[in-house]
Amino acid sequence: MAVDEQAPETLLAQLLLPRGWWLAVAESCTGGLVGHLVTNVPGASRYFRGGVIAYHNGVKEALLGVPAEVLARHGAVSEATVRAMAQGVARLLHAQVGLAISGIAGPTGGTPEKPVGTVWMGLALPNRVLARRFHFQGDRVAIKTAAARHALLWLVRTLQAEPLA
């Protein structure tokens, strides 16, 4: 079934179980919404290890292993940070797939370089680490919701393109 016809979180079992892969999430700006969506699906405990809400940079460093110099140089909302978060949560929770999100949900906190609505997502797979930048519109709740849904959509599309090992 195509992703467009079904919520992406409902496709995760079909994509993770045949590989024997587990998913773990590291969420900052979405505050647990990705984990919420994944666990809305019955049977998610067969492929979802859990998540870390790493809202404060100290949590990103202490639990996920994001180097302090990465946060100082690039900021929490950056490619380098979400790559490290995705790898860190996968390592921490013994998962083959780590999905990370960090962004600026607003209404404050934006800059000309990183305006409100800027969201970076990282994806750690067994053979590579990916990152993508998105920009979402709307109020805080709309940005958080769009980020969580797009993270799952990106995850599903990436897994669909990944050959079975």
Set out the domains of the chain in order of their start, with CATH numbers: 3-161 (3.90.950.20)
The β-bridge partners of 129 are 124
SS3 9: helix
- Do the Cβ atoms of 34 and 151 come closer than 8 Å? yes
Encode 87-107: b = buried (16+ Cβ within 10 Å), e = exposed.
bbbbebbebbbbbbbbbbbbe
- Report yes or no: 85 and 60 within 8 Å, Cβ to Cβ: yes
Residue 107 has a pLDDT of 95
Please check the confidence at residue 146 and state whether its pLDDT lies above 80: yes
Averaged pLDDT, 111-122? 97
User: Residue 92 corresponds to which amino acid?
Assistant: L
Q: E strand or H helix at 99, and its extent?
A: strand 97-103
Q: What's the rounded mean pLDDT across residues 52-77?
A: 98
User: Helix, strand or coil for residue 161?
Assistant: helix
Give CA–CA dist 115/21, Å, rounded: 35
Instruction: Tell me what the mean pLDDT of segment 6-25 comes to.
Output: 96
What is residue 32's DSSP assignment? T
Residue 161 has pLDDT above 80, yes or no: yes
> Can you give the pLDDT at residue 33?
98
On the question of pLDDT at 6 being above 90, the answer is: no
> Is pLDDT of 4 > 70?
no
Is the pLDDT at 2 greater than 70? The verdict is no
Q: What is the DSSP secondary-structure string of 125-149?
A: ETTEEEEEEEE--SSHHHHHHHHHH
pLDDT the model gives residue 1? 41
| pLDDT bucket at 3, cuts 50 / 70 / 90 | low
Distances (CA, A) of 115 to 51, 105, 154: 26, 9, 22
